[in-house]
């Protein structure tokens, strides 16, 4: 299908789909005084008005067809806002009427705007349903981040800051996110600069974050970040003592004016010179057992220096930061162990002469990085290979352990009877799942791949309650192999396992996948399957690696909290006569 045109917005490409919903005429939004745009069910911008173009510093061609969240919404640091935290996106997709205040949006030149927003359901003259978003500027006098160089904090302000710090830091298990949140809480409320130096597991020091408050924004200074010299054992200098766990202290340019006693002192001289800080307070960040690093708050624009009276508050802040970083590091270590285990559980693909083959595994975004999804491929004899895709219910360590049980039993059954039909092997595996494996339910596809006398590759498979394989010809025709669909494993029901056979055309692509690629809480499975087939058809001519990566990026629902496994193969050209 050719390009779809929205009157008044220029020619808009199809954005990776064969059809878009009918576009609302932009005349309706052009008549709105505030910056306005309309999105479809996927959050893609369908129409904008001139006020939105001016406010966002982008013309309609740069807005229409783009995902509104990915293109525009940011956090206070200019980073992409996680979709799970975006109430505006949720309102757009659920067609709720909601309002938000003082959130950040990025202009075409990269600068940030703090705007309020209103979202409400919208139906065009053609009947297309979507949502209308309004963006407008509003005053933020009550925002503590805008108070700049205010008077010293009252006791109530201090208690409020500590409570907010606890809430913000304990709600994330990401070290980088925790540091950025603490920086935003302390700058400019307490200081003009926030500097974080962390100790690694190998006792190396790294200056991981340096931020300053300038022109109403928090700016990260990459040029001042990076590796630091080792911590000297006897140095009396403030940062060196803090990194050894000593009490908090005050510092200034004069502290580091003399001959440096260590490499860290040299870096501190550079820091004070580059930032213009005339006063700094430095405190250790302690975990439950170890010193994790140090926080430096510095003042360069406000005239009043830090005093000893400021140190108890700084120590309270770093104490909370230490607990949050301890938890985040423990979580990351657990994830690393889980990821290592997952890599060992997933197999290396065999080399099959004449075939291209690749696989992907993407963990659930909010789980333990492992799950019950798996792929497999192995030789049965010199001319026959087995292909497997499967899913044990769950996406945690228990599911991963159960998946390893099921995968190993399947390999044993298939290898010990290489001539057995797929249905017979899965029937035997189903009995083992019920009586031996500690798993609740399993869906899977087992296929035998053989090269026939006609020069084509042939697939014989059985499907145990799993999403059907997708076959895509080189000229872009896609169809699901819906035959041979039977019961999932673990039900205890004794049903025959159906089988089917298909010849794979030359230069065709076969895709086996798990439901995390197509399922979404917002729509039925059929919509996900349709989206997958349309994208796969459009990518049929692309290299197999690009084919898989693009499908993961374009098809996998952003709101699906499930892992994904894929295995894809491509057949060779037709044999010459």
pLDDT tens by residue, 30-60: 778 788 998 888 888 988 998 899 889 899 8
Question: Which region, left, alpha or beta, applies to residue 499 given φ > 0 means left and ψ of -120 to 50 means alpha?
Answer: beta
DSSP string for residues in 173-191: --HHHHHHHHHHHHTTTT-
User: Sign of dihedral through CA atoms 426, 431, 433, 436?
Assistant: negative
- For residue 426, which of 468, 464, 481, 372 has the smallest C-alpha distance? 464
* The model's pTM: 0.53
Which CATH number is 4-136's, of 3.40.50.740, 3.30.450.20, 1.10.357.10, 2.60.40.1110? 3.30.450.20
Q: Please tell me whether the peptide bond between 463 and the residue prior to it is cis, using omega within 30 degrees of 0.
A: no
Domain ranges of the chain: 4-136, 144-334, 346-570
| Whether pLDDT at 19 is above 60 | no
CA 12 to chain centre: 28
The span from the CA of 565 to the CA of 514, in Å, is: 6
DSSP string for residues in 379-437: ESSSSEEEEEEEEES-SSHHHHHHHHHHHHHHHHHHHH-TTS-HHHHHHHHHHHHHHT-
| Whether pLDDT at 13 is above 70 | no
CA distances from residue 354 to 170, 451, 455, 512 in whole angstroms, order as listed: 53, 10, 11, 19
Same fold, 4-136 and 144-334: yes
What pLDDT score was predicted for residue 274? 93
> What are the residues whose beta carbons fall under 8 Å from the beta carbon of 189, sequence distance 6 or more?
144, 145, 147, 150, 153, 161
> What are the residues whose beta carbons fall under 8 Å from the beta carbon of 198, sequence distance 6 or more?
175, 205, 206, 208, 285, 292, 293, 325
| Whether pLDDT at 218 is above 80 | yes
| Whether pLDDT at 389 is above 90 | yes
472 touches 536 (CB < 8 A): yes
Predicted confidence band of residue 532 (pLDDT cuts 50, 70, 90): very high
Question: Which region, left, alpha or beta, applies to residue 234 given φ > 0 means left and ψ of -120 to 50 means alpha?
Answer: alpha
DSSP string for residues in 467-528: PPPEEE-TTS-EEE--SSEEPPBTS--------EEEEEPTT-EEEEE-GGGT-BTTB-HHHH
Asked if the 144-334 domain carries CATH number 3.30.450.40, the reply is yes
Maximum Cα–Cα distance across the chain:
90
The tokens describing 111, both together, are 């600068």
CA distances from residue 239 to 147, 276, 315, 321 in whole angstroms, order as listed: 29, 17, 14, 17
The residue to which tokens 């949720």 are assigned = 90
299 touches 280 (CB < 8 A): yes
What pLDDT score was predicted for residue 543? 95
The tokens describing 402, both together, are 């159960």
What pLDDT score was predicted for residue 138? 59
Listed as own residue / partner, the contacts of 44-47 with beta carbons closer than 8 Å and 24 or more positions apart are 44/15, 44/20, 44/68, 45/71, 46/6, 46/20, 46/21, 46/128, 46/130, 47/6, 47/8, 47/9, 47/23
pLDDT tens by residue, 168-180: 888 888 888 889 9
What pLDDT score was predicted for residue 257? 84
Which CATH number is 346-570's, of 3.60.40.10, 1.10.1380.10, 3.50.50.60, 3.40.50.720? 3.60.40.10
Pairing of strands 384-392, 442-451: antiparallel
| Whether pLDDT at 27 is above 50 | no
134 touches 34 (CB < 8 A): yes
DSSP string for residues in 432-461: HHHHT---S-EEEEEEEEEE-TTS-EEEEE
CA distances from residue 78 to 83, 207, 465 in whole angstroms, order as listed: 15, 20, 44
- For residue 324, which of 362, 379, 287, 372 has the smallest C-alpha distance? 287
Pairing of strands 485-486, 457-464: parallel
CA distances from residue 425 to 212, 352, 377, 466, 486 in whole angstroms, order as listed: 64, 22, 15, 16, 14
The residue to which tokens 């300053």 are assigned = 212
204 touches 194 (CB < 8 A): no
Cβ atoms within 10 Å, residue 130:
25
What pLDDT score was predicted for residue 377? 94
| Whether pLDDT at 415 is above 80 | yes
The span from the CA of 287 to the CA of 322, in Å, is: 5
pLDDT tens by residue, 104-161: 888 888 778 888 888 888 876 666 778 888 888 755 444 444 444 445 677 777 888 8
102 touches 112 (CB < 8 A): no
Cβ atoms within 10 Å, residue 194:
25
Calculate the average pLDDT of the chain. Answer: 84
> Phi, psi (5° rounding) for residue 319?
-65, -45
> What are the residues whose beta carbons fall under 8 Å from the beta carbon of 475, sequence distance 6 or more?
540
pLDDT tens by residue, 443-486: 999 999 998 888 889 999 999 999 999 999 999 999 999 999 99
What pLDDT score was predicted for residue 576? 64
Tell me which of 102 and 28 has the higher pLDDT.
102
CA distances from residue 91 to 12, 96, 122, 127, 131 in whole angstroms, order as listed: 25, 5, 12, 20, 8
């Amino acid at each position: 299908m050719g390009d779809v045109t929205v009157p008044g917005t220029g020619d808009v490409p199809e954005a990776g789909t064969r059809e878009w919903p009918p576009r609302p005429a932009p005349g309706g939004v052009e008549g709105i005084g505030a910056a306005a745009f309309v999105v479809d069910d996927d959050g893609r911008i369908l129409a904008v008005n001139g006020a939105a173009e001016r406010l966002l510093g982008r013309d309609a061609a740069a807005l229409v067809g783009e995902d509104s969240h990915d293109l525009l919404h940011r956090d206070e640091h200019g980073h992409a806002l996680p979709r799970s935290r975006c109430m505006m996106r949720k309102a757009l997709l659920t067609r709720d009427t909601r309002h938000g205040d003082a959130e950040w949006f990025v202009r075409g030149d990269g600068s940030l705007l703090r705007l309020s927003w209103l979202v409400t359901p919208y139906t065009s003259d053609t009947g297309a349903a979507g949502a209308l978003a309004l963006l407008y500027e509003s005053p933020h006098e009550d925002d503590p981040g805008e108070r700049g160089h205010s008077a010293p904090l009252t006791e109530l302000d201090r208690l409020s800051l500590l409570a907010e710090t606890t809430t913000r830091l304990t709600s994330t298990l990401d070290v980088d996110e925790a540091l950025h949140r603490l920086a935003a809480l302390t700058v400019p409320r307490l200081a003009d600069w926030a500097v974080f130096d962390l100790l690694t597991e190998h006792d190396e020091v790294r200056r991981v974050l340096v931020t300053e408050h300038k022109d109403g924004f928090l700016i990260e200074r990459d040029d001042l970040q990076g590796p630091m010299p080792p911590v000297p054992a006897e140095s009396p200098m403030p940062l060196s003592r803090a990194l050894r766990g000593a009490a908090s202290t005050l510092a200034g340019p004069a502290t580091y004016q003399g001959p440096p006693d260590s490499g860290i002192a040299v870096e501190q001289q550079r820091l004070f010179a580059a930032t213009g800080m005339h006063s700094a307070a430095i405190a250790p960040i302690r975990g439950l057992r170890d010193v994790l690093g140090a926080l430096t708050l510095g003042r360069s624009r406000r005239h009043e220096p830090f005093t000893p009276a400021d140190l108890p508050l700084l120590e309270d802040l770093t104490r909370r930061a230490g607990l949050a970083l301890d938890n985040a590091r423990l979580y990351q270590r657990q994830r690393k162990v889980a990821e290592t285990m997952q890599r060992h559980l997933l197999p290396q693909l065999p080399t099959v002469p004449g075939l291209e083959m690749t696989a992907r595994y993407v963990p659930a975004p909010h789980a333990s990085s492992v799950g019950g999804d798996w792929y497999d491929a192995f030789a049965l004899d010199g001319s026959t290979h087995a292909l497997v895709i499967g899913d044990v219910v769950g996406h945690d360590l228990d599911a991963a352990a159960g998946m390893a049980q099921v995968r190993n039993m399947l390999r044993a059954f298939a290898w010990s009877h290489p001539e057995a039909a797929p249905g017979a092997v899965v029937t035997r595996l189903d009995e083992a799942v019920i009586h031996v494996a500690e798993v609740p339910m399993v869906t899977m596809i087992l296929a035998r791949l053989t090269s026939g006398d006609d020069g084509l590759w042939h697939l014989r498979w059985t499907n145990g309650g799993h999403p059907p394989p997708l076959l895509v010809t080189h000229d872009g025709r896609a169809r699901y192999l819906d035959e041979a669909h039977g019961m999932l494993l673990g039900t205890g029901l004794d049903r025959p396992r159906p089988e089917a056979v298909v010849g794979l055309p030359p230069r065709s692509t076969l895709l086996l996948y798990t439901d995390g690629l197509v399922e979404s809480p917002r729509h039925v499975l059929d919509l996900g399957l349709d989206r997958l087939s349309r994208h796969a058809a459009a990518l049929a001519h692309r290299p197999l690696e690009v084919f898989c990566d693009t499908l993961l990026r374009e098809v996998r629902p952003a709101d699906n909290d499930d892992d994904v496994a894929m295995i894809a193969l491509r057949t060779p050209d037709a044999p010459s006569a």
